[in-house]
Amino acid sequence: MNASPAPQRPSTDDSTVYLERGSRAYWRASLALLFAGYATFSLLYCVQPLLPEFTRSFGVSPAVSALAVSVSTAALAIAIFIAGFVSESWSRHRLMTLSLLASSVLTVIVALLPDWHALLVVRALEGFALGGVPAVAMAYLAEEVHPEGLGLAMGLYVGGTAIGGMAGRVISGVLADFFGWRVAIGGIGLLGLLATFAFRSLLPPSRRFKPRRGVGFAHHRNSLAGHLRHRGLPFLFLIGFVLMGGFVTLYNYAGYRLLGAPFSLNQTEIGAIFTVYLTGVVASPWSGKMADVFGRGRVLMASVLLMMIGVALTLSMSLPVIIGGIACVTFGFFAGHSVASGWVGRLAAQAKGQAAALYLLAYYLGSSLIGSYGGHFWTAFGWPGVAGLIAALLVVGFASAAYLNVRERAAAHQTKAE
């Protein structure tokens, strides 16, 4: 008689294993993506406080000086969409690492350029290089992290973007005061390199992602159409658009109001007020954790509602109340963005990188279009007009979140019934 086959031992190299919340690999991935978020947004926004310095150094107008920011964000929006396609057939780990490395090096190069037009070209290249991080980072977390811990991990990543957005502005401003704008930009570039090395050493390799080689245009077209026909994803894209559009509009024009009567603040005092941006560091991981416990729809609705309350508070003539309103809008924005961005990866059954890219494309379009168009409301109606525009956007966002909440609860009831 033939001997009975030996029992098969479970494979220890199971490519389907999630990163479980609380495990060492989970925290390494979360910390790595926090560094990635920091580097991306510090490199992107480090030139914003230096625009007057560019005017003096290169003899350009303030409007032209602002191109140092806008060319990067425009290139980023395009690159994010492209990266969503590329990431389906290329290593997510490698793509994010190369993107961070290239953008950090380009930032250092910006500090050395003597010509204004060359500076704009390199800043555009930098924005394009950064496109390999945001959508891919969201897709990586959605694939690798267990759904029960995804909210917190995504929140930590978004919190890293908040730290980077503020640090890029504050650190470059301080360095410029003491050493000049070139040292400021070069310093941010070097910090970006350090963050890249930390990211590279901490991020666990993908275990659940399988690159799809030889994928043609037809596949990408069908995946794109599938995302747009999905019953939930387009509403998340819309939420990203209105949240970012309202948030940027508030920050763009609140400074104009506070500079004028009756507040008559100076730029330093306004900058100190806007450090409430750092509430995003708390809001992002907190909201992700709450979403894991109470449901994404409920937390998303609460986040949008908090933003609406904050906008109403900014109509006050009391400076402390206005500051409180700005803080509420900021907290609500980062909480809502954290939940919405994490939810995209959950709802996308396939081509998660492409779905994340669509969300971020809508997100940055909201920043560009609404952020600019809000200026017409400021000119015509003053701050009440700006607040009304933001409130109208948030009403749309709340309705979308309410719809998604109904769908989430119905899906949960169906799962329990089965």
C-alpha to C-alpha distance for 189 and 185, rounded to whole angstroms: 6
Please check the confidence at residue 9 and state whether its pLDDT lies above 50.
no
Q: Is the fold of 21-205 the same as that of 224-413?
A: yes
The predicted-structure confidence for 382-402, as pLDDT tens digits, reads as follows: 899 999 999 999 999 999 999
DSSP state of 232: S
Q: What pLDDT is attached to residue 141?
A: 78
Is a pLDDT exceeding 80 seen at residue 89? Answer: no
Of 150-159, 265-274, 320-329, the least confident: 265-274
- Domain residue ranges of the chain, discontinuous segments joined by +: 21-205, 224-413
319 contact partners, CB below 8 Å, separation of at least 6: 258, 263
Tell me the pLDDT tens digit for each residue of 196-226: 999 988 887 766 556 555 555 555 565 666 6
224-413: CATH superfamily: MFS general substrate transporter like domains (1.20.1250.20)
More reliable by pLDDT, 45 or 195: 195
For the segment 148-160, the average pLDDT, to the nearest whole number, is 76
pLDDT of residue 78: 83
Mean pLDDT over 354-373 rounds to 78
pLDDT for the residue 11: 40
Looking at residue 276, the DSSP 8-state letter turns out to be G
* pLDDT at 354 exceeding the cut of 80: no
Q: How confident is the model at residue 349 (pLDDT cuts 50, 70, 90)?
A: low
pLDDT of 324 higher than 80: yes
Look at residue 264 in the predicted model and tell me its pLDDT: 84
SS3 content of the chain, % helix, strand, coil (to 5): 80, 0, 20
- What does each C-alpha distance from 126 to 40, 102, 141, 403 come to in angstroms? 10, 7, 24, 38
Strand partners, 19: 145
pTM: 0.70
pLDDT tens digit string along 53-75?
A: 787 888 887 557 767 877 887 78
232 CB neighbour count, 10 Å cutoff: 17
Could you tell me the fold of the domain covering 21-205?
Growth Hormone; Chain: A; (1.20.1250)
Token representation of residue 345? 């990866």
